[in-house]
Amino acid sequence: MANPAMVAILPGQAIKAPGSIWAKATEQANEERKKPGADGRGDAFCYFVGSRAAGKSTLLNRFLYPTRVTTGVVVIVVDLGDPASVLPTLLWWVDQIKKKLGSTYEKFEKKGLQLPEQLRQRAKTKLYAANEDKDSVYHSGVSLVIAAAKYDAFKGEDPEVKKVMSRMLRFVAHAHGAFLCYLSGLHGSSEGSGAEDAALLDNFTRLMNHLIFTGLEKKPMLKMPPMTDHNGPLMVPAGVDTFRSIGRPRGATDGSVASGMAEWRELFEKMFPGVREKEAKMSAKGAKFVIPDQYKEEEVDAVRQRKLTDLENFRKEQVAATDAAKKKALMAK
């Protein structure tokens, strides 16, 4: 049975223009119908058309997902093959996410909308209702996943090294309401661990499918049971861990999350020299968005470049206008 394709289109967009994506889609569908075994029935297309900002995308989402609220998923990937970079990378991106969400939520709240608080409460209720740390955890309102890649390059380390890495990651993940997964064999299965690599990737895929297409309305049904043993590949769903089970380097059983974070950071820096240098490098350069060659689209890239050029010109005009106003004010005096 053919799958329906639904697309929101702006007025004036050509559907059948030669070389357009719509024309290519139609051509591909016609070819599919001619293949042996095809039932001759083409894909069903439903177009939502109308004025800009009239609500086409909103209506489409309400049709596709009538009972869901907004879903957002952010995946932070850290490199276990470069242990010293793990904490700086993780904390830098967590900070960026907090800043972005904070500014976005503030705009909603200024308009009197309750969505930010609804998202935060949903995460708290659905994942942490029975967790003893539910009031200490930062609930962002989006699904946060920490994917620690290249476990195959790290699992041969000394057990004490793996223990510090795993407990630091568990602490940061739990403190921010995040899912934590170790992954390996992404660039080809490592010797003797193909089954483990495949199982970790399959579990991660199931988690992502759930978070993207189902959201936090239901707890994800994963194939692998939670794994918190530092001698194995970690797999810790949000809401499963506790600060008590993770522990603290100095053995403290109370105190703030911030003090616990400081303790784990101090021990991590001692265990993995070079943390501060990598942190300084990230702060100085920031993280640049790079599109791999295989994903580049000339037309999209051209439009993006035009937009960037327009933005730069606008900024220059604003600076020039400000300078002109200052000069005018000085002359008036």
- The first and second tokens of residue 318, run together, are 């604003």
> Do 204 and 233 share a domain, yes or no?
yes
**Looking at the predicted structure, is the pLDDT value of residue 10 above 50?**
no
Does residue 86 lie within any of the structural domains? yes
Does residue 202 lie within any of the structural domains? yes
Distance separating alpha carbons of residues 321 and 189, to the nearest angstrom: 58
> Do 257 and 296 share a domain, yes or no?
no
> Do 266 and 313 share a domain, yes or no?
no
Determine if the pTM surpasses 0.75. no
The pLDDT score that the predictor gives to residue 285 is: 60
- The first and second tokens of residue 292, run together, are 């791999």
> Do 209 and 275 share a domain, yes or no?
yes
> Do 123 and 59 share a domain, yes or no?
yes
- The first and second tokens of residue 179, run together, are 């899912």
The pLDDT score that the predictor gives to residue 66 is: 54
Cβ 11 vs Cβ 49: under 8 Å: yes
> Do 246 and 311 share a domain, yes or no?
no
The pLDDT score that the predictor gives to residue 247 is: 93
Does residue 172 lie within any of the structural domains? yes
Q: pLDDT band for position 220 (50/70/90)? A: confident
Does residue 220 lie within any of the structural domains? yes
Choose one of 284, 300, 323: the last residue of a domain: 284
- The first and second tokens of residue 93, run together, are 């991106």
Does residue 62 lie within any of the structural domains? yes
Share of the chain above pLDDT 90, in %: 39
**Which whole number is the average pLDDT over 48-65?**
61
Choose one of 269, 284, 299: the last residue of a domain: 284
Range in 26-40, 64-78, 118-132, 139-153 with the lowest mean pLDDT: 26-40
Reduced to 3 states (helix: H, G, I; strand: E, B; else coil), residue 31 is helix
CA angle 209, 218, 135 (to 5 degrees): 115
> Do 251 and 304 share a domain, yes or no?
no
The pLDDT score that the predictor gives to residue 80 is: 94
Does residue 213 lie within any of the structural domains? yes
Closest CA to 236 of 126, 137, 145, 119: 145
Distance separating alpha carbons of residues 177 and 145, to the nearest angstrom: 9
> Do 176 and 232 share a domain, yes or no?
yes
Each residue of 295-320: pLDDT tens digit?
566 666 777 777 778 777 877 888 78
Does residue 7 lie within any of the structural domains? no
Q: Indicate the residue type of 200.
A: L
- The first and second tokens of residue 252, run together, are 């403290």
Distance separating alpha carbons of residues 291 and 98, to the nearest angstrom: 24
Distance separating alpha carbons of residues 90 and 165, to the nearest angstrom: 12
**Looking at the predicted structure, is the pLDDT value of residue 72 above 90?**
no
Determine the straight-line distance between the first and last CA of the chain, rounded to whole angstroms: 77
> Do 280 and 298 share a domain, yes or no?
no
Q: Are strands 235-236 and 178-182 parallel, antiparallel or unpaired?
A: antiparallel
**Exposed / middle / buried, residue 247 (Cβ in 10 Å: 0-12, 13-18, 19+):** middle
Cβ 107 vs Cβ 177: under 8 Å: no
Cβ 10 vs Cβ 52: under 8 Å: yes
The pLDDT score that the predictor gives to residue 240 is: 95
Distance separating alpha carbons of residues 101 and 142, to the nearest angstrom: 9
Number of structural domains the chain divides into: 2
Domain residues for the domain of 116 are 45-284
Each residue of 116-165: pLDDT tens digit?
898 899 889 988 999 999 999 999 999 999 999 999 999 999 999 999 99
Each residue of 168-207: pLDDT tens digit?
999 999 999 999 999 988 776 555 578 888 899 999 999 9
Query: How many helices (DSSP H) and strands (DSSP E) are in the chain?
Result: 10, 6
Range in 16-20, 71-75, 88-92, 107-111 with the lowest mean pLDDT: 16-20
The pLDDT score that the predictor gives to residue 248 is: 92
Each residue of 239-258: pLDDT tens digit?
999 999 999 998 776 778 99
Q: pLDDT band for position 78 (50/70/90)? A: very high
Q: Indicate the residue type of 47.
A: Y
- Kindly calculate the radius of gyration of the chain based on its CA atoms and give it in whole angstroms: 25
**Looking at the predicted structure, is the pLDDT value of residue 12 above 50?**
no
pLDDT higher for 183 or 42? 183
Return all residues near 6 (Cβ < 8 A) that are at least 6 apart: 45, 46, 47, 48, 60, 63, 64
> Do 275 and 170 share a domain, yes or no?
yes
> Do 242 and 188 share a domain, yes or no?
yes
Share of the chain above pLDDT 70, in %: 73
> Do 63 and 191 share a domain, yes or no?
yes
Does residue 33 lie within any of the structural domains? no
